[in-house]
Structure 1
Amino acid sequence: MRISLIRVDDRLIHGQVVMGWTQALGIEQILVADDEIAVDETQKQLLLMAVPAGVTADVLTIADSATIVNASDSAVSTMVLVRGPAELAALRSAGMPMSTVNVGNVHTAPERKRLTKEVHASDEEIGIWRDLAAAGVRLEARWLPSSPVTDLGRLVGTQS
């Protein structure tokens, strides 16, 4: 499987954002790596209803997602989606290769600080972002393909 984009977006498969990325990158397949939704058939089906026409999609556990990606020799252009930094770190720990990750949207919450217009993080999540960046994962905060890129790894490296 050819991974064209690994994206962190707490909405996972979501309207114009997914459409923008699938069209810009010629994405043919979406793989959602999420332990909770993978075992909830109702949530899984609701999520899959948002898949753009002409694109296939599946929702698997984080471990199964890493296994499938590593075992596949398919040339299908694939977008991998996770909901947050903890899931991204778990995916990497499960063996998913990643050099660059698109960080698209992580909503605000009472314990979260604003890092960019679309990305918010708790102190624990900032620690996860830092660890990923220190491990060599390039974290690009970018909402849409036409949006400017913010180096999230550099940004969280300066947070206190």
Structure 2
Amino acid sequence: MRISLIRVDDRLIHGQVVMGWTQALGIEQILVADDEIAVDETQKQLLLMAVPAGVTADVLSIADSATIVDASDSDVSTLILVRGPAELAALHREGVPMPRVNVGNVHTGPDRKRLTKEVHATEDEIGIWRELAEAGVRLEARWLPSSPVTDLARLVGAQS
């Protein structure tokens, strides 16, 4: 499987992903790696309704997503979506290669610190971001393909 982009976005499949990222990168396949939605047929079908014509998509558990990535020798341009840093870390632990990750949108809420305009995190999540960065994952906060890139590792105090 040719991973064109791994994106963290708590909205998962939505207009920005469909119109911005899939078109800009020529995405042919979307893989949502999410344990909760993978077993919720209603939520799964709602997400899949947003997939544009000509793009295939599936919603699988994190473990099943990692298995598919590992077993596939396809050259299809693929976008992998996860909802937050915990899911990204789980995918990383499963062995999915991720030299670069786009962090697009993680909403605000109670006990969440603003890292960028679009990315907020709890102290625990900041620790996860830091661990991923220190493990060699390049974390780029970037909302749209045309937006400037912000080094998220620097914002969470990761050691190089």
Asked whether the two chains share a fold, i.e. TM above 0.5, the reply is yes
Q: Distance in 2 between matches of 1:83 and 1:93?
A: 16
Cα separation, 2, equivalents of 1:6 and 1:21: 11
How far off is 1:53 after superposition?
1.5
Paired residues, number? 158
**TM-score (normalizing by structure 1):** 0.97
Aligned-residue offset at 1:18:
2.8
Query: Where does residue 50 of structure 1 map in the other structure?
Result: 50
Paired amino acid for 2:119: V
* Paired position in structure 2 for 1:79: 79
> What is the distance in 1 between the residues matched to 2:148 and 2:109?
24
2:41 paired with 1:41: yes
Whether the 8 Å contact between 1:24 and 1:145 is mirrored in structure 2 is yes
- Measure the CA separation in 2 of the matches of 1:55 and 1:19: 12
Aligned match of 1:102: 102
Unmatched segments (≥5 aa) in structure 2: none
Letter in 2 for 1:79: L
* Counterpart-to-counterpart distance in 2, 1:49 and 1:18: 11
Residue by residue, what CA displacement relative to the aligned partner does 1:59-105 show, whole Å, maximum 9, x if unpaired? 00000000100100000000000000000000000111110000000
Q: What are the ranges of 5 or more consecutive residues in structure 1 without an aligned counterpart?
A: none
Select between 35-44 and 13-22 the one with higher mean Cα deviation: 13-22
Over the matched positions of the two proteins, sequence identity in percent amounts to 87
Amino acid in the other structure paired with 1:100? R
Offset of residue 19 of structure 1: 1.6
Q: Is the 8 A contact 1:141 1:152 kept in 2?
A: yes
